[in-house]
Amino acid sequence: SFPMEKFRGTILHHPPSHCFDNSVESIKADLTEKLFSMRAKFPEVATLNDYYLALSYVVRDRVLHRWIHSAHTYFQQASRTVVYLSAEYLMGPQLGNNILNLGIRKQVEQAVAEMGLSLEDLLEQEEEPGLGNGGLGRLAACYLDSLATLQIPAFGYGIRYEFGIFDQQIKDGWQVEVTDRWLRLGNPWEVPHPERRYEVRFGGHTEAGYDAQGRYRVRWVPERSVMGTPFDTPVLGYGVGNAIILRLWQAEARESFDFQAFNLGNYYKAVDDKVMSENITKVLYPNDEPEAGRRLRLEQQYFFVACSLADMLRIFFQRDTDLDRLPDKFVVQLNDTHPAVAVAEMMRLLIDDNGLEWDRAWKITTGVFAYTNHTLLPEALETWNVDLFGKVLPRHLEIIYEINHRFLMEVNRFFPGDAGRLSRMSLFSEAGEKRVRMANLACVGSRAINGVAALHTDLLKQTVLKDFHELWPEKFSNKTNGVTPRRFMALANPGLADLITQSIGATWLRDMDRLKGLEPFARDNAFRDQWAEVKHQCKVRLAAMIRKKTGMAVDPDTLFDIQVKRIHEYKRQHLNVLNIITHYRRLKQGLDMDAPARTFIFGGKAAPGYVLAKLMIRLITGVADVVNHDPDINGRIKVVFYPDFNVKNAQHIYPAADLSEQISTAGKEASGTGNMKFALNGALTIGTLDGANVEICQAVGPENFFLFGLTADQVAATRQAGYRPCDVYDGNEELRAAMGMISGGLFSGGDPGMFAPLIDSLLNEDRFMVLADYAAYVQCQEQVGRAFLKPDHWHAMSILNVARMGMFSSDRSIAEYCRDIWHVEPVPVVVPDETCDID
Residues annotated as catalytic are 374, 565-566, 571, 673, 677
Determine, following the binding rule CB under 6 A, whether residue 725 of this chain makes contact with ligand 7GP. no
Comparing CB distances to ligand 7GP, the nearer of 273 and 669 is 669
DSSP string, 107-128: HHHHHHHHTT--HHHHHHHPPP
Q: Which residues pair with 176 in a beta bridge?
A: 169
Determine, following the binding rule CB under 6 A, whether residue 661 of this chain makes contact with ligand 7GP. no
Minimum CB–partner distance for residue 371 and ligand 7GP (Å): 12
Stretch that binds ligand 7GP, among 193-201, 361-369, 670-678, 727-735 (CB under 6 A): 670-678
Q: By the 8 A CB rule, do 751 and 618 touch? A: no
Comparing CB distances to ligand 7GP, the nearer of 129 and 234 is 129
Give residue 539's Cα distance to chain centre.
Answer: 25
User: How many chain residues are in contact with ligand 7GP, going by CB under 6 A?
Assistant: 18
Stretch that binds ligand 7GP, among 42-50, 318-326, 664-672, 751-759 (CB under 6 A): 664-672
Determine, following the binding rule CB under 6 A, whether residue 140 of this chain makes contact with ligand 7GP. no
Stretch that binds ligand 7GP, among 127-135, 142-150, 421-429, 740-748 (CB under 6 A): 127-135
CA angle at 548 for the pair 784 and 123, rounded to the nearest 5°: 100
Minimum CB–partner distance for residue 672 and ligand 7GP (Å): 5
Determine, following the binding rule CB under 6 A, whether residue 168 of this chain makes contact with ligand 7GP. no
Of 35, 60, 33, 62, whose CA–CA distance to 46 is shortest? 35
Comparing CB distances to ligand 7GP, the nearer of 63 and 683 is 683
Q: How far apart are alpha carbons 408 and 675 in whole angstroms?
A: 40
Inter-residue long-range contacts of 162-166, CB under 8 Å, 24+ positions, other chains counted: 162/250, 162/278, 162/281, 162/282, 162/283, 163/282, 163/283, 163/284, 164/129, 164/130, 164/131, 164/132, 164/284, 165/130, 165/131, 165/132, 165/133, 165/284, 165/286, 165/605, 165/646, 166/286, 166/605, 166/608
Of the candidates 644, 669, 766, 834, which one interacts with ligand 7GP according to CB under 6 A?
A: 669
Contacts of 668 (CB under 8 A, 6+ apart): 376, 377, 570, 690, 768
Minimum CB–partner distance for residue 719 and ligand 7GP (Å): 20
Q: How far apart are alpha carbons 344 and 399 in whole angstroms?
A: 6
Determine, following the binding rule CB under 6 A, whether residue 693 of this chain makes contact with ligand 7GP. no
| Cα Rg of the chain (Å, integer) | 28
Q: By the 8 A CB rule, do 75 and 298 touch? A: no
Residues 516-575 that bind ligand 7GP (CB under 6 A): none
Minimum CB–partner distance for residue 822 and ligand 7GP (Å): 17
Comparing CB distances to ligand 7GP, the nearer of 97 and 671 is 671
Q: Which residue's CB atom is positioned nearest to ligand 7GP? A: 135
The DSSP output letter for 193 is -
Residues 262-301 that bind ligand 7GP (CB under 6 A): 287
The DSSP output letter for 45 is G
Determine, following the binding rule CB under 6 A, whether residue 673 of this chain makes contact with ligand 7GP. yes
Comparing CB distances to ligand 7GP, the nearer of 109 and 291 is 291
Per-residue HEC secondary structure of 503-519 comes to HHCCHHHCCHHHHHHHH
Determine, following the binding rule CB under 6 A, whether residue 691 of this chain makes contact with ligand 7GP. yes
Comparing CB distances to ligand 7GP, the nearer of 761 and 810 is 810
Minimum CB–partner distance for residue 808 and ligand 7GP (Å): 11
Comparing CB distances to ligand 7GP, the nearer of 142 and 653 is 142
DSSP string, 116-177: T--HHHHHHHPPP-EES-SHHHHHHHHHHHHHHHTT--EEEEEE--SB-SPEEEEETTEEEE
Minimum CB–partner distance for residue 380 and ligand 7GP (Å): 5
DSSP string, 366-431: HHHEEEE-----GGGS-EEEHHHHHHH-HHHHHHHHHHHHHHHHHHHHHSTT-HHHHHHHSSEE-S
Comparing CB distances to ligand 7GP, the nearer of 277 and 440 is 440
**How many CB atoms sit inside 10 A of residue 171's CB?**
9
Comparing CB distances to ligand 7GP, the nearer of 567 and 623 is 567
Residue 691 falls in which region: left (phi positive, over 0), alpha (psi -120 to 50) or beta: left
Of the candidates 135, 188, 234, 603, which one interacts with ligand 7GP according to CB under 6 A?
A: 135
Minimum CB–partner distance for residue 585 and ligand 7GP (Å): 32
Q: How far apart are alpha carbons 229 and 195 in whole angstroms?
A: 8
Comparing CB distances to ligand 7GP, the nearer of 392 and 452 is 452
**Helix, strand, or coil here: 341?**
coil
Determine, following the binding rule CB under 6 A, whether residue 130 of this chain makes contact with ligand 7GP. no
Of the candidates 24, 200, 452, 653, which one interacts with ligand 7GP according to CB under 6 A?
A: 452
Residues 345-374 that bind ligand 7GP (CB under 6 A): 374
**Helix, strand, or coil here: 235?**
strand
Determine, following the binding rule CB under 6 A, whether residue 626 of this chain makes contact with ligand 7GP. no
Q: How far apart are alpha carbons 535 and 659 in whole angstroms?
A: 12
Q: Which residues pair with 230 in a beta bridge?
A: 249
Of 442, 455, 466, whose CA–CA distance to 373 is shortest? 442
Stretch that binds ligand 7GP, among 20-28, 130-138, 278-286, 753-761 (CB under 6 A): 130-138
Of the candidates 336, 766, 811, 834, which one interacts with ligand 7GP according to CB under 6 A?
A: 336
Minimum CB–partner distance for residue 692 and ligand 7GP (Å): 7
Determine, following the binding rule CB under 6 A, whether residue 144 of this chain makes contact with ligand 7GP. no
Of 525, 602, 594, 546, whose CA–CA distance to 571 is shortest? 602
Stretch that binds ligand 7GP, among 132-140, 504-512, 532-540, 768-776 (CB under 6 A): 132-140
Stretch that binds ligand 7GP, among 385-393, 434-442, 665-673, 805-813 (CB under 6 A): 665-673
Stretch that binds ligand 7GP, among 19-27, 591-599, 667-675, 697-705 (CB under 6 A): 667-675
The helix (H) or strand (E) run that includes residue 229 is strand 224-236
Determine, following the binding rule CB under 6 A, whether residue 685 of this chain makes contact with ligand 7GP. no
Determine, following the binding rule CB under 6 A, whether residue 672 of this chain makes contact with ligand 7GP. yes
Comparing CB distances to ligand 7GP, the nearer of 137 and 241 is 137
Q: Which residues bind ligand 7GP (CB under 6 A)?
A: 133-136, 139, 287, 336, 374-375, 380, 452, 481, 669-673, 691
